[in-house]
């Protein structure tokens, strides 16, 4: 049972096609196919079977791929222990962020990480639909994701989920709005309003549904944007009200006010998603630690607590 071959099987389980594995590992599909064939011969049982144009893993294949993941973890841990021993957190860590947190928290995180010699963080932004977050861990070491509390559609995949922040979602209003003087708002205040929503499939939607349910009627959604900057601009311009995350919106324009929502739990959970094997890498854990710490600062600044285990070392976070 060669490790490199097992690793290929693990990749196949994650990516689903020989071609994808080949691309991801910088080989030709032929090479991957050959190695899988050898592995199959060594294992003594069929691991894949054809399905339409592609292939799928047999149950035996899945079983073996699971073990392969454990091996990958052990191997990554060995690397990590070694890097710790040498106190060397160098290496490249790829990170995918969604826009809001990328704008507010990431600069501080990266500037702190610049202190670590040899550590290179490559960050990119992208605002995927909820379901896609997990898939992206195949291509990025750390994926920052946001979702509603209690809704964790990943995790079944064996991903490590590091909680960063539980962030309240306030209601953004123009300073001139009739509700702008209130200390807080309720569902019934808001069902009359025109809303700026998010594209279908994005996390915020559920809360709006809760408001509709409690307010007793459907709200009108005038526009749908995923980019907060645009939303803020539209709020200012009087096109409607919208959810605005309390901490990660950065400096708000003076004519835009945030009001907490009462009676409807409105918060988003911000987490980092990491594949368990890459979570072992010292460089990755270093980045995660700083993320957790900075997120805690952000949350502590206004009183609301961060997710959990801030500063406790992300390596110890549950799966």
Partner DNA sequence: ACTGAGGATGTAGCATCGCTACATGGATGT
Partner DNA sequence: ACATCCATGTAGCGATGCTACATCCTCAGT
Contact residues for DNA, defined by CB under 7 A: 2, 4, 17-20, 26-31, 33-38, 48, 50, 52-55
Q: Which lies closer to a copy of itself via its Cβ, residue 251 or residue 316? A: 316
Q: Which lies closer to a copy of itself via its Cβ, residue 58 or residue 186? A: 58
- Burial class, 94, CB count within 10 angstroms (exposed 0-12 / middle 13-18 / buried 19+): middle
| Residue 262 in contact with a copy of itself, rule: CB under 8 A | no
44 binds, options DNA, a copy of itself, none, Cβ within 5 to 8 A by partner type = a copy of itself
1 binds, options a copy of itself, DNA, none, Cβ within 5 to 8 A by partner type = a copy of itself
Beta strands in 34-159 (DSSP E): 48-51, 54-57, 91-97, 119-125, 142-147
CA distance 203 to 99: 14
152 binds, options DNA, a copy of itself, none, Cβ within 5 to 8 A by partner type = none
77 binds, options DNA, a copy of itself, none, Cβ within 5 to 8 A by partner type = a copy of itself
CA distance 228 to 124: 17
**Could you tell me the smallest distance in angstroms from the CB atom of residue 82 to DNA?**
18
**Could you tell me the smallest distance in angstroms from the CB atom of residue 5 to a copy of itself?**
11
CA distance 15 to 91: 24
**Could you tell me the smallest distance in angstroms from the CB atom of residue 16 to a copy of itself?**
21
**Could you tell me the smallest distance in angstroms from the CB atom of residue 9 to DNA?**
12
CB 173, CB 259: distance < 8 Å: yes
70 binds, options DNA, a copy of itself, none, Cβ within 5 to 8 A by partner type = a copy of itself
**Could you tell me the smallest distance in angstroms from the CB atom of residue 45 to a copy of itself?**
6
Q: Which lies closer to DNA via its Cβ, residue 17 or residue 194? A: 17
Alpha carbon distances (Å) from 259 to 98, 182, 245, 297 = 23, 8, 11, 21
Alpha carbon distances (Å) from 88 to 69, 82, 119, 294 = 25, 8, 9, 22
The single-letter DSSP state of residue 279 is G
**Could you tell me the smallest distance in angstroms from the CB atom of residue 280 to a copy of itself?**
11
How many residues of this chain interact with a copy of itself, rule: CB under 8 A?
A: 25
Spatial CB neighbours of 251, under 8 Å, sequence gap ≥ 6 = none
What dihedral angle (degrees, nearest 10) is formed by the CA atoms of 251, 252, 257, 258? -60
- What the block records as the tokens of 272 is 């980092």
| Residue 210 in contact with a copy of itself, rule: CB under 8 A | no
DSSP assignments along 159-182, one per residue: -EEEEEEEEEEEEEEETTSTTTT-
| Residue 82 in contact with a copy of itself, rule: CB under 8 A | yes
230 binds, options a copy of itself, DNA, none, Cβ within 5 to 8 A by partner type = none
- What the block records as the tokens of 308 is 């959990």
68 binds, options a copy of itself, DNA, none, Cβ within 5 to 8 A by partner type = a copy of itself
Contacts (CB under 8 A) with a copy of itself, residues 35-74: 43-45, 60, 63-64, 66-68, 70-71, 73-74
116 binds, options a copy of itself, DNA, none, Cβ within 5 to 8 A by partner type = none
Among 121, 193, 134, 127, which residue's Cα sits nearest to residue 160? 134
- Which residues would be at the binding site for a copy of itself (CB under 8 A)? 1, 3, 6, 43-45, 60, 63-64, 66-68, 70-71, 73-75, 77-79, 81-82, 85-86, 88
């Amino acid at each position: 049972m060669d490790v490199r071959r097992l690793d290929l099987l693990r990749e196949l389980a994650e990516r689903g096609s020989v071609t994808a594995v080949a691309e991801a590992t910088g080989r030709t599909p032929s090479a991957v196919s050959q190695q899988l064939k050898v592995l199959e011969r060594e294992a003594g049982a069929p691991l894949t079977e054809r399905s339409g144009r592609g292939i799928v893993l047999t149950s035996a294949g899945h079983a073996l791929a699971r073990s392969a993941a454990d091996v990958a973890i052990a191997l990554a841990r060995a690397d990590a222990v070694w890097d710790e021993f040498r106190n060397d957190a160098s290496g490249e860590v790829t990170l995918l962020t969604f826009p809001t947190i990328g704008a507010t928290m990431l600069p501080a995180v990266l500037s702190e990480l610049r202190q670590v010699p040899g550590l290179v963080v490559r960050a990119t932004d992208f605002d995927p639909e909820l379901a896609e977050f997990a898939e992206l861990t195949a291509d990025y070491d750390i994926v920052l994701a946001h979702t509603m509390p209690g809704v964790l559609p990943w995790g079944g995949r064996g991903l490590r989920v590091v909680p960063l922040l539980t962030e309240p979602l306030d209601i953004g209003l123009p300073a001139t709005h009739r509700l702008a003087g209130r200390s807080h708002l309720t569902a019934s205040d808001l069902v009359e309003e025109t809303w700026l929503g998010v594209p279908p499939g994005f996390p915020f939607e559920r809360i709006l549904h809760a408001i509709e349910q409690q307010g007793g009627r459907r709200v009108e959604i005038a526009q749908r944007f995923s980019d907060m900057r645009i939303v803020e601009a539209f709020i200012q311009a009087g096109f409607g009200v919208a959810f605005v995350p309390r901490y990660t919106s950065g400096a708000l324009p003076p004519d835009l006010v945030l009001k907490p929502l009462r009676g409807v739990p409105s918060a988003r959970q911000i987490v980092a998603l990491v594949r368990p094997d890459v979570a072992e890498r010292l460089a990755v854990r270093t980045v995660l630690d700083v993320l957790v710490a900075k997120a805690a600062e952000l949350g502590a600044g206004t009183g609301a607590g961060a997710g959990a285990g801030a500063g406790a070392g992300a390596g110890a976070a549950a799966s």
